[in-house]
Amino acid sequence: MMIMWIIIVFAASLLLWGIFSYNRLITARNDVRNAWSQIDVQLKRRYDLIPNLVAAVKGYMDHERQILEQVILARSRALTAQRISEKAVTEARLSREIKGLFAAMESYPVFKANQNVLRLQDELVSTENRIAFSRQLYNDLVANYMTLLQVFPDVVIASLFGFTGAEYFSASTTERRPLPAAAIQQ
């Protein structure tokens, strides 16, 4: 009689733990997906801003046409990248090209007097920062999810219900958090 009760209690607590564990995994996975779409929002913002900036400066930077073309090329490559690791590489490349464009724009004082260009520049700098922050958040959440997947008791539930891992959004080692243009002037 006693043994039966013990078995029932044990089974019930096992089931409860299983439920909590599954829910935790689901929450973590959804957080990862949400954070990825947040990055997408910021990347899309950057894709939309770049043509505006290029159009605004094109009239003046005739000698620097090569830089402008490189920016546009990097942008179209980043747009078409599909897998996360590929996207990381193309986005890092685009960030570098934009930084090069800002550096070239420093030697044209006419842009400092043009509010439209200044505004676009600040928006792009802000977008770079936002991409960096949302990437940080995404990676933190991926780490959280992977830990939950691999920790001992939960790994049973995970493999039982077919949870797969997620990829980190890691850039190349030379890419750092982009400095705002104002800091470069100092």
Partner 1 sequence: MPLTVIDIERRKRWRIGLLYTVLLSLYLFTALALYGLIFLVVLPFRYAGESSGSSPYMPLVVIILGALAIASIHFWISASTVLGSVVRTLKAGKPDREDVVHQRLLNVMQEVRLFTNIQKMECLVIPSLSFNALAATDLKGNAVIAVTEGLISRLSRPQLEAVIAHEVYHVISGDCLETTIATSLFGVYASLMDQLRSWSEDDRETLYQPNFFAFFALLNLSNLLSMFISREREYRADAAAVRMTRNPIALAEALHLISRNWNGGGMISSGLEMLCITSPVDSRDESEGWLADLLSTHPPMEKRIRTILRYAHRTYDDFAAIQDRTDEAAESGMGSGGSYYALDNKRQWQGPFSLVQLAAVPWLTPRTWLSGADGRPAFRAADSEFISGALSLRMGSPSGYMCPNCSQPLQKTEYEGTQVHQCVSCGGTLVDNDKIPRIIARREKICSGRVKALAGAVLRDNQRAMTISKVTGRDIRKKSGNRCQKCGNVMFRTFYSGAYLIEIDRCNICRITWFDIDELEMLQCLIENKITGTLADRAEG
In angstroms, what is the minimal distance from the CB of 99 to partner 1?
Answer: 15
**CB nearer to partner 1: pick between 133 and 168:** 133
In angstroms, what is the minimal distance from the CB of 136 to partner 1?
Answer: 7
Question: Please, which residues have CB within 8 angstroms of residue 175's CB and are 6 or more apart in sequence?
Answer: 92, 95, 96
From the DSSP assignment, how many helices (H) and strands (E) are in the chain?
Answer: 6, 0
**How many Å apart are CA 83 and CA 88, to the nearest integer?**
9
**CB nearer to partner 1: pick between 58 and 156:** 58
**How many Å apart are CA 48 and CA 52, to the nearest integer?**
7
**CB nearer to partner 1: pick between 111 and 163:** 111
Question: Which spans of this chain sit near partner 1 (rule: CB under 8 A)?
Answer: 38, 42, 59-60, 109-110, 112-116, 118-119, 122-123, 125-126, 129-130, 133-134, 136-137, 177, 180, 182-183, 186
**How many Å apart are CA 15 and CA 157, to the nearest integer?**
11
